Amino acid sequence: MAEDWRALNRANWDERVPVHLGPGGYDLAAHRAGAGRMGAIEEAELGTVAGLRILHPQCHVGHDSVALAQRGAAEVVGVDFSPAAMAAATVLAAECGVAATTRFVESDLYAAPAALPGEAGGFDLVFTTWGTISWLPDIDAWARVVAHFLRPGGALYFADGHPAAYVFDGPGAPDDAEGRPGWFAPYFTRAPQLFDNPDDYADPAARLASSRTVEWLHPLCDILGALRAAGLRLDWLHEHPRIAWRLFPALMQDTDGLWTWPGRPWLPLALSLRAVREG
Ligand SMILES: C[S@@+](CC[C@H](N)C(=O)[O-])C[C@H]1O[C@@H](n2cnc3c(N)ncnc32)[C@H](O)[C@@H]1O
């Protein structure tokens, strides 16, 4: 089954597209009103993007691509292997008035350099957030793709679940009285993780027929080592006791939409970093 990872995962993501654009999916009212917002962590950390050429790998339905374009990026190029997502993103960008400064390219992450010929070193910023590298088996190759597209001095902005939090499991694992979830997998597990879960993180009413997926855990040393080996210098790294989705059932939603521990902040739930392409 792990050998079929790409086909299984793509079918799962294709099926999520209409769910996320439906009534129980993403709230895109602000995007359609011309000022889409991203999550509270990246809103606080990203800084100005006006005038930048931005690559947005694994952009899904393009909601963050649109938000980046709406805040003045010169161009945002979204890449995702889901044809349904790329079609939806193109429509969303047009509805939100940023068709002229956005482009969506259907491609596997690892094939993106071939899918975007002539774009080596062409971007000021690579922006990739929330649920990306866990879908990729080879973190070193991921970092090389990021470096391929950045101009010297250009930066990666990355935010995602913290690898330490992925040691624990949300769905099915009973949280204890203090909100601590049960164990799931050892931190240094590098074997593919096979799931069969019909649930969707955005719409609790959705049931996915393409429920089988293959994902990977990447320890922090692998992420930082991959970026370093690809020629990126770490500018900063932040750990957060909050995350963009309900990773564990016991998490509570803050007023800004992020999910956090009900009591003490036992572990980081998310990390974010900025790394600069040397050269
Ligand atoms: C959780 S979403 C990305 C997060 C996005 N920021 C969001 O908030 O929705 C994961 C995306 O990765 C894409 N994806 C998964 N594996 C991929 C691969 N090998 N190549 C390209 N895209 C991939 C999926 O199609 C999906 O749109």
- The CATH number of the domain holding residue 163 is 3.40.50.150
Tokens 């080592």 sit on residue: 225
Distance from C-alpha of 213 to C-alpha of 208, rounded to nearest angstrom:
11
Q: What is the mean pLDDT of residues 256-278?
A: 95
CA 60 to ligand 1 centroid distance, Å: 5
For 28, the 3-state DSSP assignment is coil
**Is 26 strand, coil or helix?**
coil
Predicted local confidence at residue 69, as pLDDT:
98
Interval between CA 45 and ligand 1 midpoint (Å): 22
Name the residue with the closest Cα to ligand 1, atom 26: 60
Q: What is the pLDDT of residue 22?
A: 96
pLDDT, tens digit, 9 for 90 and up, residues 130-140 = 999 999 999 99
Q: How far is CA 185 from CA 7, 138, 150, in A?
A: 24, 19, 34
Query: Among 229, 223, 225, 233, which Cα is nearest to 278's?
Result: 233
Of the CA atoms within 13 Å of residue 144, those in its CB half-sphere come to: 9
Give dist(CA 105, CA 41) in Å, integer.
26
How far apart CA 57 and CA 166 sit, in angstroms, is 22
Q: Which residue has the tokens 């909601």?
A: 63
The closest-lying atom of ligand 1 relative to the alpha carbon of residue 60 is 27
In this structure, what DSSP letter does residue 76 have? E
Q: Residue 6: its pLDDT value, please?
A: 97
Asked if 183 contacts 167 with a C-beta cutoff of 8 angstroms, the reply is: yes
pLDDT for res 198: 95
* Whole-number pLDDT of residue 175: 67
- Residue of 5, 132, 139, 258 to mutate, ligand 1, most atoms within 8 A of C-beta: 132
Nearest alpha carbon to residue 147 among 46, 237, 55, 53: 55
- Mean pLDDT for the chain? 95
Q: Give the model's confidence band at 58: pLDDT under 50 very low, under 70 low, under 90 confident, else very high.
A: very high
Q: What is the mean pLDDT of residues 182-205?
A: 92
Task: Read off the pTM.
Answer: 0.96
Q: What pLDDT sits at residue 248?
A: 87
pLDDT at 176 over 80: no
Rounded distance between C-alpha atoms, residue 43 and residue 7, angstroms: 33
User: By percentage, how much of the chain surpasses pLDDT 90?
Assistant: 88
Question: What pLDDT does residue 279 have?
Answer: 84
Q: From the CB of residue 51, how many other CB atoms can be counted at a distance below 10 Å?
A: 10
H or E segment and range at residue 196:
strand 193-196
Count Cα neighbours of 106 within 13 Å in the Cβ-side half-sphere.
11
CA of 253 to the centre of ligand 1 (A): 23
Residue 237 Cα to ligand 1 midpoint, Å, equals 22
Model confidence at 144, pLDDT cuts 50, 70, 90, reads very high
According to DSSP, the β-strands at 259-260 and 252-253 are antiparallel
User: In what helix (H) or strand (E) does residue 182 lie, and over which residues does it extend?
Assistant: none
Mean local confidence (pLDDT), 153-161: 98
Atom 15, ligand 1: residue with shortest CA distance: 135
Q: What is the pLDDT of residue 184?
A: 86
Query: What is the residue range of 258's domain?
Result: 5-277
- Residues with beta carbon inside 6 Å of ligand 1? 9, 13, 58, 60, 64, 80-82, 85, 108-109, 129-132, 135-136
Which residues sit opposite 56 in a β-bridge? 78
Ligand 1 geometric centre to CA of 132 (Å): 6
Q: So what's the pLDDT on residue 173?
A: 60
Q: Give the count of domains, the chain.
A: 1
* Amino acid 207: pLDDT: 97
Number of H helices, E strands in the chain: 8, 12
Helix (H) or strand (E) holding 93: helix 83-95
pLDDT at res. 122: 98
pLDDT of residue 250: 86
